[in-house]
Chain A
């Protein structure tokens, strides 16, 4: 029996699902639910997950709640500093549809418009059980090769960049400029 490239990929996926190092962006209130997940009550280290200090070292990116337009810039920067393969988990309803900030002028409504999100956790806020469940779901997806957000980001890079620039724009003429650029 010989191992072909695909089999190696399978092994690599197997390893990477058991060793998900995460970096969490904890400006949102969902970050409050992380300490119980990490500590002895729920202990995510059972699955080899570990909080890391910098995006360079991390595999999973947790966006724990609402994102203002200003923080989105930093989120994108952190995401781009992470190395492939990388995965994103969106926390709570804020990342899905804006949640209680649905009509705010300076928060973003749908995170997956700006960076590819692999798993969303519903709830305001999600309980630790839900977070653990999302981790298991992500691991399952990695194993099956379904967590391909990072590939999507490479493929639709221009689209994502355009969305990001639209979000950063705070004057009408800037939006016009972006549309003009896009038309070219």
Chain B
């Protein structure tokens, strides 16, 4: 059954190339095909212990099997962890396609073909049962992304994605090889890793490789360029969806393949393995530095890219801590990030579609012109900042609770201050783009784009009301790792330290808003035009090019304070690595002197060492 889905995706990708001249038709077909993975996810819900109405279960995928393709075999299987991540990606994908129908014009067939191929790769990665299948589909996904990054025509983005993508692939492949050498099996289920140093190196390499896709610092260098120079629907899927695959991989290898016991065997600190602890520290650093860098950006896409990096850091923290609370929090954060970041990138795309501007300081006042885009992105921003009127808060709260539970005294303040920093760049987006002086007389975004954005807002509302549902989805995953699910009802999540009752918050906010509304509607009011502002004089009508929009260098004092510390960023670090490699390479080349006697000498030396080693052993 599942091979048919993969074949349809592949076939449609080829069809798209043929329909290159008809972007609308290609887009519509791609949209309907892109619903397939979502239907597949729904039909597996029953296996995960989640009951859905039968009319949603259209495909009836009950069980998985092995598929023999010629000489080799393709081993696919659905696991609870895979199902959760597939749910995120498969529900984001159709909306991105719907958005693309009105957004992508140039060479649309190529775009849809590559997008469908990324989904194909995603499908395979998540369902893979062995390392070979995993790596095969990982490469399909990576190279389809490369094809999409190429469409941005930005040399820096292309080169950095290529360099880091290959580095990631190499790290993962080497890790896989070491694991295969150790266990003699490719199947995840049959791997029983021994607590050796070699396996630690292999796991670290694999996690570092996945960290590239997950944009963890210092492996994030490609992300701001690739995120900011490609088409928005793709970026929304890349940042919101595909970056999760890095965390899926980390989770798969850290907890499903290696397991808690193995991680703990390399040393623990307050019951948290050092391995996980270092991941959490890297995650916290990423969250903090990503946030600070996001505040300093003027390009809307760059800002969103750095904010994405910062928010993904939180997932790494949760995965590092590795308690049931933390893993639930990480999954919840992954869920939220998928939707709010996709909405924000899509809204940025809608703004660009109407105004043709990316710079925040050149935009302004679109809130009254594009109210629905504004409200959708306002909601997404609330989720991003973790304001408790969206589901964004519950995820952050779980992570904070997990950190305090494990007494992370120095990591928790960094997480919290990164959360405060998020308010800064969130307001920069709001003010710079949607508030302030109206400078463009534009229409609202096209209907298709609006529908896509608003459907993606829905999960943020649903999981505000039912945060327990995420805990329900996390329960089978935790059970697989031999952990108890966190105590919860649909509305209340309880931990050993505190309680989060979403009903109290919801009814509280409704009640207080009503109170405020009564107070507020007491007196009538009149709406004045925007020009009627107190400016200690009058607005400079005489000078048309003087803007009253204060968004240029909005956080200048902030930049003055922080820029000196962030000037030599990660790119400098990689330059040092490059330089070291160059020196090493030049040094190594000197061995080849071109003299036969030297080479004879080397061979002699080699045998002497070999014999000496043999004798001493």
A interface residues, Cβ below 8 angstroms from B = 54-56, 73-74, 77-78, 81
Q: Does B538 contact A (CB under 8 A)?
A: yes
- Interchain CB contact under 8 A, B534 and A81: yes
Q: What's the least CB distance linking B537 to chain A, in Å?
A: 6
Contacts of A78 in B (CB 8 A): 534
Contacts of B575 in A (CB 8 A): none
- Interchain CB contact under 8 A, B534 and A55: yes
> Can you give 9 contacting A-B residue pairs, CB < 8 Å?
A54-B534, A56-B534, A73-B538, A74-B537, A74-B538, A77-B537, A77-B538, A78-B534, A81-B534
Q: What's the least CB distance linking B103 to chain A, in Å?
A: 42
- Complexed CA–CA distance, A81 and B532 (Å): 8
Beta-carbon nearest neighbor of B534 in chain A: A54
- Complexed CA–CA distance, A81 and B538 (Å): 11
- Complexed CA–CA distance, A78 and B538 (Å): 9
Indicate with 1 or 0, residue by residue over B506-547, a CB within 8 angstroms of chain A CB atoms. 000000000000000000000000001010011000000000
Beta-carbon nearest neighbor of A57 in chain B: B534
Contacts of A55 in B (CB 8 A): 534
- Complexed CA–CA distance, A174 and B308 (Å): 60
List the count of A-B residue pairs having beta carbons below 8 Å apart: 11
Contacts of B532 in A (CB 8 A): 81
Contacts of A74 in B (CB 8 A): 537-538
Q: What's the least CB distance linking A168 to chain B, in Å?
A: 13
Count of chain B residues with a beta carbon within 8 Å of a chain A beta carbon: 4
- Complexed CA–CA distance, A74 and B535 (Å): 10
Chain B interface helix/strand/loop/mixed: loop
- Which 6 pairs show the lowest CB-CB distances between chains A and B? A54-B534, A74-B537, A77-B538, A81-B534, A56-B534, A55-B534
- Complexed CA–CA distance, A56 and B534 (Å): 8
Beta-carbon nearest neighbor of A77 in chain B: B538
- Complexed CA–CA distance, A74 and B538 (Å): 7
- Complexed CA–CA distance, A54 and B536 (Å): 8
Contacts of B537 in A (CB 8 A): 74, 77
Beta-carbon nearest neighbor of B528 in chain A: A81
- Max chain A CB contacts within 10 Å: which of B532, B534, B538? B534
Contacts of B534 in A (CB 8 A): 54-56, 78, 81
- Complexed CA–CA distance, A78 and B533 (Å): 10
Beta-carbon nearest neighbor of A80 in chain B: B532
Contacts of A56 in B (CB 8 A): 534
- Complexed CA–CA distance, A78 and B536 (Å): 8
Q: What's the least CB distance linking B522 to chain A, in Å?
A: 13
Contacts of A73 in B (CB 8 A): 538
Beta-carbon nearest neighbor of A81 in chain B: B534
- Complexed CA–CA distance, A55 and B533 (Å): 10
Q: What's the least CB distance linking B536 to chain A, in Å?
A: 8
- Complexed CA–CA distance, A55 and B537 (Å): 11
- Complexed CA–CA distance, A81 and B528 (Å): 10
Q: Could you list 8 further interchain pairs (A-B, Cβ under 8 angstroms) beyond the known A54-B534, A78-B534, A81-B532? A: A55-B534, A56-B534, A73-B538, A74-B537, A74-B538, A77-B537, A77-B538, A81-B534
- Complexed CA–CA distance, A73 and B534 (Å): 14
- Complexed CA–CA distance, A81 and B526 (Å): 12
Contacts of B538 in A (CB 8 A): 73-74, 77
- Complexed CA–CA distance, A78 and B537 (Å): 8
**Interface set, chain B 340-377, CB cutoff 8 A to A:** none
Q: What's the least CB distance linking B88 to chain A, in Å?
A: 47
Beta-carbon nearest neighbor of A23 in chain B: B534
- Complexed CA–CA distance, A77 and B531 (Å): 12
- Complexed CA–CA distance, A77 and B532 (Å): 9
Beta-carbon nearest neighbor of B537 in chain A: A74
- Complexed CA–CA distance, A60 and B534 (Å): 16
Beta-carbon nearest neighbor of A53 in chain B: B534
- Complexed CA–CA distance, A74 and B534 (Å): 11
- Complexed CA–CA distance, A77 and B533 (Å): 10
Contacts of A81 in B (CB 8 A): 532, 534
- Complexed CA–CA distance, A72 and B154 (Å): 56
**Interface set, chain B 319-337, CB cutoff 8 A to A:** none
- Complexed CA–CA distance, A176 and B545 (Å): 34
Indicate with 1 or 0, residue by residue over B531-567, a CB within 8 angstroms of chain A CB atoms. 0101001100000000000000000000000000000
- Complexed CA–CA distance, A55 and B534 (Å): 7
- Complexed CA–CA distance, A55 and B536 (Å): 9
Q: What's the least CB distance linking A61 to chain B, in Å?
A: 13
Q: What's the least CB distance linking B396 to chain A, in Å?
A: 37
Beta-carbon nearest neighbor of A71 in chain B: B537
- Complexed CA–CA distance, A77 and B534 (Å): 9
- Complexed CA–CA distance, A81 and B534 (Å): 8
Q: What's the least CB distance linking A71 to chain B, in Å?
A: 10
**Interface set, chain B 23-57, CB cutoff 8 A to A:** none
- Complexed CA–CA distance, A54 and B535 (Å): 9
- Complexed CA–CA distance, A55 and B538 (Å): 13
- Complexed CA–CA distance, A73 and B537 (Å): 9
- Complexed CA–CA distance, A81 and B381 (Å): 33
Contacts of A77 in B (CB 8 A): 537-538
- Complexed CA–CA distance, A73 and B539 (Å): 13
Contacts of A54 in B (CB 8 A): 534
Q: What's the least CB distance linking A69 to chain B, in Å?
A: 14
Q: What's the least CB distance linking A9 to chain B, in Å?
A: 15
Indicate with 1 or 0, residue by residue over B191-214, a CB within 8 angstroms of chain A CB atoms. 000000000000000000000000
- Complexed CA–CA distance, A54 and B534 (Å): 7
- Complexed CA–CA distance, A73 and B532 (Å): 14
Beta-carbon nearest neighbor of A54 in chain B: B534
- Complexed CA–CA distance, A73 and B538 (Å): 9
Q: What's the least CB distance linking B256 to chain A, in Å?
A: 61
- Complexed CA–CA distance, A77 and B528 (Å): 14
Q: What's the least CB distance linking A89 to chain B, in Å?
A: 20
Q: What's the least CB distance linking B207 to chain A, in Å?
A: 55
Q: What's the least CB distance linking B579 to chain A, in Å?
A: 56
Q: What's the least CB distance linking B525 to chain A, in Å?
A: 10
Q: What's the least CB distance linking B316 to chain A, in Å?
A: 46
Beta-carbon nearest neighbor of A74 in chain B: B537
**Interface set, chain B 439-479, CB cutoff 8 A to A:** none
Q: What's the least CB distance linking B171 to chain A, in Å?
A: 59
- Complexed CA–CA distance, A176 and B611 (Å): 116
Beta-carbon nearest neighbor of B532 in chain A: A81
Beta-carbon nearest neighbor of A78 in chain B: B534
- Complexed CA–CA distance, A77 and B538 (Å): 8
Beta-carbon nearest neighbor of A73 in chain B: B538
Q: What's the least CB distance linking A25 to chain B, in Å?
A: 10
- Complexed CA–CA distance, A78 and B532 (Å): 10
Beta-carbon nearest neighbor of B538 in chain A: A77
- Complexed CA–CA distance, A55 and B532 (Å): 12
- Complexed CA–CA distance, A6 and B532 (Å): 33
Q: What's the least CB distance linking B526 to chain A, in Å?
A: 10
